[in-house]
């Protein structure tokens, strides 16, 4: 199972990113683990500079702004 982490301090874009990933996963019928990381030192630990960032299985795949739908789809 893929493990997603959305890095962000709770702004609207972070919530939109989570909703988008959930929606795409559901559409594709793929079960994922989705976790929200709000702790700043933890976020910075990934080296992400602009939030929201997305981490899949420990690798940063996206940073800065809500990802496009096609980009999210390419992650599955």
Partner 1 sequence: MTVAPLEIPDRQKLWPWLLGIALASIAWVAVYSQLSAGAEWLVAGFGLSRQTPFGEAVHFFFYDTPKVLLLLTGIVFVMGIIQTFFSPAHTRTLLSGKRQGVGNVLAAALGIVTPFCSCSAVPLFIGFLSAGVPLGVTFSFLISAPMVNEVALVLLFGMFGWQVAVLYLGMGLLIAIFAGLVIGKLNMERFLEDWVQKILAGQTAHPADEKISWSERFQAGGRHVREIVGKVWPYILLGIALGAGIHGYVPEDFMASFMGRDVWWAVPAAVVLGVPMYTNAAGIIPIVEALIGKGAALGTVLAFMMSVIALSAPEMIILRKALKPTLIATFAGVVAVGIMLVGYVFNLVL
65 binds partner 1 (CB under 8 A): yes
Question: Under a CB-based contact definition with an 8 Å cutoff, are residues 8 and 17 in contact?
Answer: yes
- Per CB under 8 A, the list member of 26, 44, 57, 76 interacting with partner 1 is 44
- Per CB under 8 A, the list member of 35, 49, 57, 76 interacting with partner 1 is 49
60 binds partner 1 (CB under 8 A): yes
Task: Go through 11-35 and write b for each residue having 16 or more CB atoms within 10 A of its CB, e for each that does not.
Answer: eeebebbbebbeebbeeeeeebeee
- Per CB under 8 A, the list member of 15, 22, 36, 46 interacting with partner 1 is 46
Report the C-alpha gap between 51 and 65 in whole angstroms: 6
Task: List residues binding partner 1 (CB under 8 A).
Answer: 8-11, 13, 27, 40-41, 43-51, 60-65, 68, 70
């Amino acid at each position: 199972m893929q493990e997603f982490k959305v890095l962000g301090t709770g702004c609207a874009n972070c919530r939109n990113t989570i909703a988008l990933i959930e929606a795409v996963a559901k559409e594709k019928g793929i079960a994922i683990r989705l976790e929200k990381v709000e702790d700043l030192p933890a976020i910075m630990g990934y080296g992400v500079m602009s939030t929201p960032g997305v981490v899949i299985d420990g690798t940063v795949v996206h940073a800065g702004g809500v990802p496009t739908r096609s980009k999210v789809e390419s992650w599955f």
